[in-house]
């Protein structure tokens, strides 16, 4: 009994220490912009997020599992809400798990098709986590939605995830008649790294004329380039919850299999060879970002001297597949109409602004919405009873209206 008492006491003290550590980290290292509003809910939600990461770190240190795997375990415990108006089927396209959402109501004509790629930095996220969002899209747009469950890092590095998404997309595009989808009305949609996948696959498919042409692409606060991590949004929002610069770099490095020792070199631009430096100056120039987005503070940073080893070991981060913002003009010019959504308090904000200019310069129609009180990841709170932020539903309805008006 005495031993059990001391074990319980030790456990309580340990958990108290973890809790205090989380509170300290939240209040002293994380920015919580007042403009977002709902500050108390935001702090509670973020502290819960940090707590999950800390326990994940402990599991990783003990050799039980990686941090991403622990977070996925927690997320997969979420209750899946069923929608009585939809038929939902779990399928496999080859080895890729997908989930198909189809309205139960009969339709006299072919429906639009939405291929959805979830976010999560290529390390978390799943069909279940995005189930409610896909149900909402299917119901509100009367469309057939295909959600792709691609493989995740660190267990599956580049190119596993993007290959899964390409395989699922080409299979669906080749069999649209099976699902009564109009071949001229297929839309790609994704948030965060899902937006990266949308851009990357949209670019790849312009060279495959045997498949139906994509009608539109929807990119919600996407990551689009690994060239310049010193843009105004990186400097202004590097400590803003939930996607800090450190977490973003962690996710990128996990998927691309980059050693942590290269972090400083990549953040300072030392991985850019002269050719890539020139491309960066042309296509990722800070001068292409409107002045108002620099008003919260920005210091122009000169890239560090070129490091040949940093380039040779990490050049995959610079490929158009992983940095679609850098794609050639002739590829960009062939892309479908786009909806871009950016959030003010997001380190990836300026990726969207720069992609908007590249698309417009090549004559691609662009609808852009900037969410002044938005932050990265907010979309997933849209149906959360206690932690829903109004801008999440606003973003989702922007997407719905865009699709309905195509």
Residues designated as active site: 192, 346, 376
Q: Report whether the peptide linkage leading into residue 172 is cis, meaning its omega lies within 30 degrees of zero.
A: no
Do the strands 96-103 and 86-93 form a parallel or antiparallel pair, or are they unpaired?
antiparallel
- Go through 20-43 and write b for each residue having 16 or more CB atoms within 10 A of its CB, e for each that does not: eebeeebeeebebbeebeeeebbb
**Contact criterion met (CB below 8 Å) for 312 and 381:** no
Residue at token pair 């969207």 = 352
Number of H helices and number of E strands within the chain?
14, 8
The angle formed by the CA atoms of residues 402, 405 and 406, to the nearest 5 degrees, is: 90
Which residues, including other chains, have CB under 8 Å from residue 288's CB and lie 6 or more apart? 353, 354, 357
Task: Report d(CA 394, CA 239) in Å as an integer.
Answer: 24
How far is it, in rounded angstroms, from Cα 257 to Cα 314? 9
Q: Which residues contact 358 (CB under 8 A, 6 or more apart)?
A: 283, 325, 332
Residue (of 110, 129, 111) closest to 119 by Cα position: 129
Contact assessment for residue 320 and residue 348, using Cβ atoms and an 8 Å cutoff: no
């Amino acid at each position: 009994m005495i031993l059990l008492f001391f074990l319980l006491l030790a456990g309580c003290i340990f958990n108290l220490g973890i809790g205090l550590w989380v509170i300290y980290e939240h209040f002293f290292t994380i920015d919580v912009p007042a403009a977002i509003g709902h500050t108390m809910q935001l702090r509670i939600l973020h502290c819960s997020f940090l707590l999950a990461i800390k326990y994940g770190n402990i599991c990783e240190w003990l050799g039980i599992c990686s941090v991403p795997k622990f977070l996925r375990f927690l997320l997969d415990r979420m209750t899946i809400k069923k929608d009585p108006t939809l038929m939902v089927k779990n399928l496999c396209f080859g080895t890729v798990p997908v989930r198909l959402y189809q309205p139960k109501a009969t339709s006299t004509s072919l429906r639009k098709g939405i291929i959805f790629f979830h976010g999560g930095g290529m390390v978390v996220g799943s069909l279940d986590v995005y189930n409610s969002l896909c149900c909402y899209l299917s119901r509100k747009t009367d469309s057939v939605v295909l959600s792709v469950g691609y493989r995740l890092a660190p267990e599956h590095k580049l190119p596993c995830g993007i290959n899964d998404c390409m395989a699922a997309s080409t299979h669906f595009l080749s069999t649209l008649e099976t699902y009564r989808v109009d071949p001229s009305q297929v839309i790609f949609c994704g948030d965060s790294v899902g937006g990266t996948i949308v851009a990357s696959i949209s670019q790849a498919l312009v060279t495959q004329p045997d498949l139906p042409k994509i009608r539109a692409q929807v990119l919600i606060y996407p990551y689009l380039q690994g060239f310049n991590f010193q843009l105004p949004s990186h400097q202004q929002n590097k400590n803003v919850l939930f996607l800090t610069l450190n977490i973003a770099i962690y996710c990128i490095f996990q998927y691309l299999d980059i050693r942590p020792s290269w972090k400083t070199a990549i953040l300072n631009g030392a991985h850019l060879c002269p050719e890539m430096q020139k491309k960066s100056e042309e296509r990722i120039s800070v001068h292409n970002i409107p002045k108002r987005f620099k008003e919260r503070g920005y210091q122009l940073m000169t890239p560090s001297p070129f490091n040949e080893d940093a380039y040779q070991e990490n050049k995959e981060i610079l490929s158009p597949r992983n940095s679609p913002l850098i794609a050639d003009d002739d590829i960009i010019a062939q892309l479908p109409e786009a909806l871009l959504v950016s959030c003010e308090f997001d380190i990836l904000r300026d990726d969207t602004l720069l992609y908007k200019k590249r698309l417009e310069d090549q004559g691609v129609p662009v609808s852009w919405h900037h969410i002044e009180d938005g932050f990265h990841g907010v979309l997933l709170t849209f149906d959360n009873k206690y932690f829903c932020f109004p801008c999440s539903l606003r973003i989702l309805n922007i997407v719905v209206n865009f699709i309905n008006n195509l």
